[in-house]
């Protein structure tokens, strides 16, 4: 008789947890997964997938308007929230089913419910108890809303996709990529949209030129931006609207307040503290190079460990962990030069170091920049512009950062990321023949350093 019920018990069926469970089961391990909310985690249900679908939806209004300059005579267009909401829900449900089937087909036991680690090798789900040689925590993050009066009236990304009614006026609170993306979505769908951020400029950590460029472009698209702006309280009115009070005076009347102020590790009630698992001050779980905590039977990966909160990162970590289980080897994951896209409007794509990061590190840099009106808008008449930027180490000629704001920036930067990962120099970029006419060719035709 086996000593344990399972060789591996995974808590959380998000991207990292599902990948680890499937690959471990494929390698012959007896694996269980417990999930208390939805299959696929944040990305599939309330993150990457629905967000991108909503970005597509919000872009049609401009496409209808732009088509006039190309000879089209579109009729009156009207947006129906219920259609988008319900079609998105159906797609998410379809993906939930796919994830469940992937686990079942791999021979993984799926247990519905919130798991709690009661002992180092014992997990409880409701009244059930399961022993496991190894336990993996892959529970991801949870939206954070500060403790202010009226916080119960605010929505987060967990609820925003399934609202009963579309808001005529919405305030998005936050300055990260999620806040910027949702502000663009709701403005594009026709809501009167404001964004409130407590500092002087949003998208902290991104290249400064990118941040200021996006600020200006968002303003063109009708988003009202409030910087150095703090929400003090939210007050519900008799007509169910919300009056948002600001620190220092002033208020804003809206129908919906969306808090996009970051995500905290989803570790509440897991029993980690009682077992002495070491966690950082921000609540993330401390792990070694093999994703093992200080309690040797317990592992953790993905957003809950504090590494870049990106689905592909969790997937790479899951593959490295399973390989370690199978071979005992350590697979070092390189967290440098991870390409990132922000699906604001226009999109951001970025990889490598910002100009500020490079200079702060003492790297001698040469900067190349190009700003232009995309070809389609020379006919559409829209005032939207595109920014491209390269950060080059002048001592080696290596391109150490590439940044873009413009249509399909994420698609373009993915290819540029391969070149940067491979150590391409500016000379290699210059020798590469561009594809004409495209915006992407600008990355291989910038010759004059910025002043």
User: What are the CA-CA distances from residue 198 to residues 202, 225, 249, 441 (Å)?
Assistant: 9, 11, 14, 37
Q: Which of 318, 333, 328 is nearest to 26 (CA)?
A: 318
Q: What is the pLDDT of residues 113-147, one digit of tens each?
A: 999 999 999 999 999 999 999 999 999 999 999 99
Q: Over the stretch 167-219, which tens digit does the pLDDT of each residue have?
A: 999 999 999 999 999 999 999 999 999 999 999 999 999 999 999 999 999 99
For 265-284, the pLDDT digits (tens) are: 999 999 999 999 999 999 99
Tens digits of residue pLDDT in 417-449:
999 999 999 999 999 999 999 999 999 999 999
pLDDT in tens, 31-79: 999 999 989 999 999 999 999 999 999 999 999 999 999 999 988 889 9
Distance CA 406, CA 213 (A): 10
Q: How far is residue 175's CA from residue 154's CA, in Å, rounded to a whole number?
A: 16
For strands 256-259 and 169-173, give the pairing: parallel
pLDDT at 191: 98
What is the percent of the chain with per-residue pLDDT over 70, rounded to a whole number?
99
pLDDT (0 to 100) of residue 1:
40
Gyration radius (Cα) of the chain, Å? 24
The better pLDDT of the pair 369, 248 is held by 369
- Encoded tokens for 14: 């998000």
E-strand stretches of 241-295: 242-246, 251-254, 256-259, 263-265
Q: Confidence class of residue 2 from pLDDT cuts 50, 70 and 90?
A: low
Rounded-to-integer distance, Cα 124 and Cα 270, Å: 10
How are beta strands 263-265 and 141-143 bridged, if at all?
antiparallel
Check: CB of residue 277 under 8 Å from CB of residue 267: no
Residue-range domains of the chain with CATH: 6-142+264-327 (3.50.50.60), 151-261 (3.50.50.60), 340-444 (3.30.390.30)
Round the average pLDDT of the chain to a whole number and report it. 97
**Residue among 388, 298, 396, 382 at smallest CA distance from 350:** 388
The predicted-structure confidence for 324-365, as pLDDT tens digits, reads as follows 999 999 999 999 999 999 999 999 999 999 999 999 999 999
CA neighbor of 141 nearest in space, from 305, 321, 341: 305
Q: What is the pTM of this model?
A: 0.95
DSSP 271: S
By DSSP bridging, strand 169-173 and strand 141-143 are: unpaired
User: ∠ at Cα 75 (74, 81), nearest 5°?
Assistant: 105
- Annotated catalytic residue within 229, 296, 324, 436: 436
Q: What is the pLDDT of residue 377?
A: 97
Asked if 436 is an active-site residue, the reply is yes
Nearest Cα residue to 392 out of 345, 445, 361, 355: 355
pLDDT of residue 74: 87
For 224-266, how does the pLDDT look when each residue is reduced to its tens digit (9 = 90+)? Answer: 999 999 999 999 999 999 999 999 999 999 999 999 999 999 9
């Amino acid at each position: 008789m086996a000593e344990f019920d399972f060789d591996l018990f995974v808590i959380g069926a998000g991207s990292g947890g599902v990948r680890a469970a499937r690959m471990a089961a494929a390698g012959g391990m007896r694996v269980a997964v417990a999930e208390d909310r939805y299959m696929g985690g944040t990305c599939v249900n309330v993150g990457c997938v629905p967000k991108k679908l909503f970005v597509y939806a919000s872009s049609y209004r401009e496409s209808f308007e732009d088509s006039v300059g190309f000879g089209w005579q579109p009729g009156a267009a009207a947006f129906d929230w219920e259609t988008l909401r319900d079609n998105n829900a159906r797609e998410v449900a379809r993906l939930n089913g796919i994830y469940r089937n992937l686990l079942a087909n791999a021979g993984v036991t799926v247990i519905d419910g919130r798991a709690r680690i009661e002992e180092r090798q014992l997990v409880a789900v409701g009244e059930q108890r399961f022993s496991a040689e190894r336990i993996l925590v892959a529970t991801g993050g949870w939206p954070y809303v500060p403790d202010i009066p009226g916080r119960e009236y605010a929505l987060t990304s967990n609820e925003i996709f399934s609202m009963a009614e579309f808001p005529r006026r919405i305030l998005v609170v936050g300055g990260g990529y999620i806040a910027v993306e949702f502000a663009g979505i709701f403005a594009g769908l026709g809501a009167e949209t404001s964004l409130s951020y407590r500092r002087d400029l949003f998208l902290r950590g991104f290249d400064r030129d990118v941040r200021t460029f996006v600020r200006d472009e968002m303003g063109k698209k009708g988003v009202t931006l409030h910087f150095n702006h703090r929400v003090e309280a939210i007050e519900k009115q008799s007509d169910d609207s919300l009056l948002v009070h600001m620190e220092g005076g002033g208020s804003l009347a809206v129908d919906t307040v969306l808090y996009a102020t970051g995500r905290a590790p989803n570790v509440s009630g897991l029993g980690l503290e009682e077992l002495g698992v070491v966690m950082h001050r921000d609540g993330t779980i401390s792990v070694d190079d093999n994703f093992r905590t200080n309690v040797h039977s317990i592992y953790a990966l993905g957003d809950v460990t504090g590494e870049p909160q990106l689905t592909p990162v969790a997937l790479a970590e899951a593959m490295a962990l399973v390989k370690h289980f199978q071979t005992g080897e350590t697979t070092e994951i390189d967290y440098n030069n991870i390409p990132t896209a922000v699906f604001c409007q226009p999109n951001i794509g970025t990889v490598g170091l910002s100009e500020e990061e490079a200079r702060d590190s003492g790297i001698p840099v040469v900067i190349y920049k190009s700003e232009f009106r995309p070809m389609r808008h020379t006919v559409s008449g829209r005032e939207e512009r595109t920014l491209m930027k390269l950060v080059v180490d002048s001592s080696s000629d290596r391109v150490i950062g590439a940044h873009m704001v413009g249509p399909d920036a994420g698609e373009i930067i993915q290819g540029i990321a391969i070149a940067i990962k491979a150590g391409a120099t500016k000379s290699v970029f210059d020798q590469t023949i561009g594809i004409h006419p495209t915006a992407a060719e600008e990355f291989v035709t910038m010759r004059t350093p910025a002043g």
